[in-house]
Structure 1
Amino acid sequence: MTKVYIIHENSEWTVHLTKRLEELQVPYEEWHLDQGIVNLTEAPPEGIFYNRMSASSHTRNHRFAPELTSAVLAWLEHHNRTIFNGSNALRLELSKVLQYTALEAAGINTPRTIAAVGNEQIIKAAQELGESSFITKHNRAGKGLGVQLFHSMEGLQNYVEGPTFEEPVDGVTLIQQYIKAPEPFITRCEFIDGKFQYAVKVDTSEGFELCPADACQIDDLFCPVGETPNVVNLEQPKFQIVENFNDSIIEKYEHFLKQNQIKVAGIEFIRDTNGEIYTYDVNTNTNYNADAEKQAGHYNMLQLANVLKAELEKNYSKA
């Protein structure tokens, strides 16, 4: 029997989709790739494959899950299987450097960024950036890894040379222009099958100003996949879907996703005091906030399940 195969390494982020697939009676199988084998002498099963591998897998003791996923995707692509978020999507998920170069190639503005390997080079990169305020982050990130805001070179040096410095899993630290927003929020645009679904406004007053989604973890109150109500500000939810969001950036994002063979993604941007948009994150392992979706009556995991069902039926109809 043909089915939908979900490639991932974290069941807590996948259960929201499998529940929807079960509701729609879509046959599926999970490939939890924290470890495994890839038999290149055999053909993979027939079906629709959806890659949800995360850049932060190493924080859950799944250090080589992305590398294994890369091998699996190459195997699937060699046999011409239908894949949502294939090898190129994984490449971008695992490297913000690749994200930014691909975004810029598509005519999308990103913050000024310098990549560095080595503690001395991090200091040198910040000096070269020449900004009074800047942030550091990991190239292979997720979960806010390495995200720190600095207003001085002295502060950066103390951090890099101190006990709290986080070594990136791939060795690459990014030093990035800090974008000051007039209001404490960013916007995250969600796409399924390469098409815009909705934009969500994320309040950053209780988190890092530039990267609120990065600061959100699976075990805290503000995780996008969490079911817990927002309690910091009862009058202003942390996540709010924006009604009738319409901006020319959406057309650029859809073109970017098509160029890079990405079917499912959340893309985050921030506006500066002049209203200029800076795009700083492409998340191909995107999740959705249950409370915000309930308020708006829009359910992206249901939409995704329907798209996967339609693709399965199109490719493997009973007729």
Structure 2
Amino acid sequence: MHTDLVAALDIGGTKIAGALVDGGGRLLVRAQRPTPARQDGETVMRAVAEVLGELSGSPLWDRAGAVGIGSAGPVDASAGTVSPVNVPGWREFPLVDRVRAATGGLPVELIGDGVAITAAEHWQGAARGHDNALCMVVSTGVGGGLVLGGRLHPGPTGNAGHIGHISVDLDGDPCPCGARGCVERIASGPNIARRALEQGWVPGPDGDTSAAAVAAAARAGDPVAVASFERAAQALAAGIAATATLVEIDIAVIGGGVGKAGDILFTPLRKALTDYATLSFVRRLTVVPARTGTDAGLVGAAAAALTRTPDVTAASR
């Protein structure tokens, strides 16, 4: 049997996307369903099964040798379960077993969504050619993943590199995770917006209070908006510097909605990094925006499945 493709799933609180992906990272067939995030776990699984059903209807399906899943977390790759914060019906849901059953026993590789985007950026994006990298997603939350020694480093449960929950402010605000002063509590989009509003930022006539609106105000010179992005940049810089000091990365890639803010984020971030990344071996660290777009989750899930397929295809012959 010729298996040169993988099936990829990208599971989030808004949508469940699927694709058949080739060894060059091209998405050949796509399927998508909205995530019934407020429904019970079986209803959510039905949406996943519909996406897989649509993919398996393609004549290319027979060439798929494995399934890669990037899921909102926490995930537990060692147990094959997912408990996405924004999908309450799934708590320790046995997603790997269910997807294996739905695909007639194909091998399944599960990683968190931050690790998936890291895999995509290392394979196709801004971290390409770098053997040691941190890739971050800064949006509603702050996630991330690591490439160490040229390989994706998901860790035993698939959550390594979760930079959003490094504490960078010991006496900071309580974070929903239970700790204090986490990077996410300072640098995520909703927290950038919350802080700007608390400090007296007034949204425009359209009433938009998103981080993107704060970024627009910052570009127009609003000092409160500028300050909220500077504070986020400082938190990100501290987390990135801590990571670089621990594992010697030479590039940090930032994606997600907040990553699209451009110079409003990157200028203060690069400046703050010089304050935190002071040791000789972390001074050469560069920080760049992500290059892979909305398909990053699918591309990364495919990358995770492809890197494990040599033994898989041998076993399935």
Question: Shorter-chain TM-score: which interval?
Answer: 0.3 to 0.5
When the two structures are superposed, what TM-score results if normalisation uses the length of structure 1? 0.34
Q: Answer 1 or 2: which has greater helix percent.
A: 2
